[in-house]
Amino acid sequence: MSPLITPAELAEPGDAVTLLDVRGGISGPPGIDRYREGHLPGALFCDLDADLAAAPGAGGRHPLPSAEHFQNAMRRLGVTRGKPVVVYDDAGSTIAARAWWCLRYFGHDQVKVLDGGLPAWDALGLPIVKDEPTATPGDFTAVPGGMPVLTADEAASLANTGVLLDARSAERYRGEVEPIDPVAGHIPGAVSAPTTDNVTADGRFLAASDLDARFTALGVTDGTPVGAYCGSGVTAAHEVLALHLAGYPAALYVGSWSNWVANPTHPIATA
């Protein structure tokens, strides 16, 4: 089953889904404010920092939450194991992909991303509401291990033995700018692969064949171990989703660059 769902498909009458609005979190107005200005009918707000990550620290700016923390957050939002979940944002699925990845990692196997997010829904003239529904507490049990992850050492090794994709902008990869983390550059051996190239101008994912061609050009082949990282493990989840659409399983370095530079002994490459 495709991990994507179109607005038209989501709008069709059918089986109920748990709908999560995961806008905001990295830049721009707080996600909860945007949610209250208007959201899909029935959607509940899921916060990147509070629900999809642990507190920032040496593990990175968005480290993996504990199973207990994530389970409690998802139950509060009405997530159950046997009911499909659809996640969306308004930023080309950047944050939604992190929610998709977390749910998959913790054992939920029926998760879809709304392709194009809120803008694509709005473009079809589908309803946007301000009323906030009350969730019926869910019974989701979080069991970690559903998606592969990388430690810092494993990411460094993969850069030499497989393909490690850097999902940040090319300028950050080259070390020309670093607007967030204290050190600029990239993990030696990593390949620049900005997530912005995974989607069209209107925020929809490229066709699987186009994604396949993109990743093949970056050195990804069948049987080659692949991993992805970014600044804090959010947009790298988008890279993992794009790789999945292209037919390539990939591991996520959750701590990503913010974890890498926390250790002063880690080597840094530029240009």
111 contact partners, CB below 8 Å, separation of at least 6: 3, 84, 85, 86, 87, 99, 100, 103, 104
3-state class of 184 per DSSP? coil
**Segments of the chain assigned E as strands:** 4-5, 18-21, 44-45, 85-88, 111-114, 163-166, 191-192, 226-229, 251-252
Distance (Å, whole) CA 18 – CA 183: 39
Instruction: Give the other-Cβ count within 10 Å of 271's Cβ.
Output: 8
Q: 23 with 79: CB under 8 angstroms? A: no
Provide the sign of the torsion angle of the four alpha carbons 221, 227, 230, 235, taken in this order: positive
Residues annotated catalytic, as ranges = 230
Q: 242 with 71: CB under 8 angstroms? A: no
